[in-house]
Chain A
Amino acid sequence: MGLLSIIRKIKKKEKEMRILMVGLDNSGKTTIVLKMNGEDTSVISPTLGFNIKTISYQKYTLNIWDVGGQKTIRSYWRNYFEQTDGLVWVVDSSDLRRLDDCKMELDNLLKEERLAGSSLLILANKQDIQGALTPDEIGKVLNLETMDKSRHWKIVGCSAYTGEGLLEGFDWLVQDIASRIYMLD
Chain B
Amino acid sequence: MEDDDPIHGGSAIDQALQKKHHDMLERLSARHQTRKSDSPDSSSSSSSFESTSSFLARFADSKRFIESRIGELRLGSSSEDPSNIKSGLAEISSAIENLEKLVAANSYFLPSYEVRSSLKAVSDLKQSLDILSGELVPKKKFSFKSKSSSTKPESKLPEIHKPDFVSPLKVPVRDSPGFRNKHGETLVKSFRGSSIGEFTLSDLDSCEVKLTGTVNALFLHRLKNCKVYTGPVIGSVLIDDVEDCVLVLASHQIRIHCARKSDFYLRVRSRPIIEDSNGVRFAPYCLDYEGIEQDLKTAGLEEETKSWANVDDFLWLRAVQSPNWSVLPEEERLSPVSLSGDS
Q: Which residue numbers of A lie inside 8 Å of B, CB to CB?
A: 1-4, 6-7, 25-26, 42-46, 48-52, 54, 63, 65, 70-73, 75-76, 78-79, 82, 94-97, 99-100, 103-104, 107-108, 111-114, 126, 128-133, 137, 140-141, 143, 146
Question: Nearest-CB distance from A61 to chain B (Å)?
Answer: 12
Question: Nearest-CB distance from A142 to chain B (Å)?
Answer: 9
Question: Nearest-CB distance from B291 to chain A (Å)?
Answer: 21
Q: Tell me if B270 and A46 are in contact (CB < 8 A).
A: yes
Partner of B176, one of A51, A73, A82, A131: A131
- Measured in the bound complex, the distance between the Cα atoms of B273 and A118 in whole Å is 32
**Given known contacts A26-B236, A114-B146, A126-B217, A46 and B273 CB-to-CB distance under 8 angstroms:** yes
Partner of A48, one of B116, B217, B253: B116
Question: Nearest-CB distance from A164 to chain B (Å)?
Answer: 15
Which candidate, B32-40, B195-203, B333-341, is the interface stretch facing chain A? B195-203
- Measured in the bound complex, the distance between the Cα atoms of B312 and A73 in whole Å is 13
- Measured in the bound complex, the distance between the Cα atoms of B91 and A152 in whole Å is 30
**Given known contacts A3-B89, A44-B253, A114-B149, A137 and B217 CB-to-CB distance under 8 angstroms:** no
Chain A residue with Cβ nearest B164: A146
Residues 115-159 of chain B, each 1 if its beta carbon lies under 8 Å from chain A, else 0: 110110011001000000100010000011111011000001110
Partner of A52, one of B104, B122, B175, B270: B104
27 A-B residue pairs with Cβ-Cβ distance under 8 Å, sorted by A, are A2-B143, A2-B147, A3-B144, A6-B87, A7-B93, A7-B94, A26-B238, A45-B270, A45-B273, A48-B115, A49-B115, A50-B119, A52-B46, A63-B101, A71-B276, A71-B314, A72-B275, A78-B150, A78-B157, A79-B126, A97-B200, A111-B158, A129-B198, A130-B195, A130-B216, A140-B170, A141-B173
A-B contact count (CB 8 A): 171
Q: Given known contacts A48-B312, A50-B119, A126-B217, what 19 new A-B pairs fall within 8 Å (CB)? A: A1-B143, A2-B144, A4-B147, A7-B93, A44-B253, A45-B253, A48-B314, A49-B116, A65-B104, A79-B126, A94-B198, A96-B174, A114-B150, A126-B235, A129-B198, A131-B196, A131-B198, A137-B171, A143-B170
Partner of A107, one of B144, B165, B200: B165
Q: Which residues of A contact B145 (CB under 8 A)?
A: 2
Q: Tell me if B146 and A82 are in contact (CB < 8 A).
A: yes
Chain B residues within 8 Å of chain A by Cβ, number: 75
Q: Which residues of B contact A51 (CB under 8 A)?
A: 104, 107-108
- Measured in the bound complex, the distance between the Cα atoms of B168 and A140 in whole Å is 11
Q: Tell me if B198 and A52 are in contact (CB < 8 A).
A: no
- Measured in the bound complex, the distance between the Cα atoms of B89 and A82 in whole Å is 14
Q: Tell me if A50 and B104 are in contact (CB < 8 A).
A: yes
- Measured in the bound complex, the distance between the Cα atoms of B96 and A37 in whole Å is 26
Question: Nearest-CB distance from B12 to chain A (Å)?
Answer: 29
Partner of A3, one of B46, B147, B165, B269: B147
B6 at the A interface (CB under 8 A) = no
Q: Tell me if B46 and A129 are in contact (CB < 8 A).
A: no
Q: Which residues of B contact A100 (CB under 8 A)?
A: 169
User: Shortest 10 CB-CB distances between A and B: which pairs?
Assistant: A130-B197, A52-B104, A129-B197, A45-B270, A45-B271, A72-B314, A94-B198, A2-B143, A140-B171, A49-B119
Q: Which residues of A contact B122 (CB under 8 A)?
A: 79
B261 at the A interface (CB under 8 A) = no
Q: Tell me if B143 and A94 are in contact (CB < 8 A).
A: no
Q: Tell me if A94 and B104 are in contact (CB < 8 A).
A: no
B257 at the A interface (CB under 8 A) = yes
- Measured in the bound complex, the distance between the Cα atoms of B236 and A126 in whole Å is 12
Q: Which residues of B contact A7 (CB under 8 A)?
A: 90, 93-94
Most buried by B among A99, A129, A140: A129
- Measured in the bound complex, the distance between the Cα atoms of B101 and A152 in whole Å is 27
Q: Tell me if A95 and B170 are in contact (CB < 8 A).
A: no
Question: Nearest-CB distance from A139 to chain B (Å)?
Answer: 9
Question: Nearest-CB distance from B103 to chain A (Å)?
Answer: 8
Chain B residue with Cβ nearest A24: B238
**Given known contacts A72-B275, A113-B146, A114-B149, A99 and B173 CB-to-CB distance under 8 angstroms:** yes
B306 at the A interface (CB under 8 A) = no
Question: Nearest-CB distance from B235 to chain A (Å)?
Answer: 8
Q: Tell me if A75 and B253 are in contact (CB < 8 A).
A: no
Partner of B105, one of A45, A52, A104: A52
Most buried by A among B108, B143, B145, B157: B157
- Measured in the bound complex, the distance between the Cα atoms of B86 and A113 in whole Å is 21
Chain B residue with Cβ nearest A4: B146
Q: Which residues of B contact A25 (CB under 8 A)?
A: 255
- Measured in the bound complex, the distance between the Cα atoms of B274 and A70 in whole Å is 10
Q: Tell me if A97 and B107 are in contact (CB < 8 A).
A: no
**Given known contacts A54-B46, A131-B197, A141 and B171 CB-to-CB distance under 8 angstroms:** yes
Q: Which residues of B contact A70 (CB under 8 A)?
A: 255, 273, 275, 314
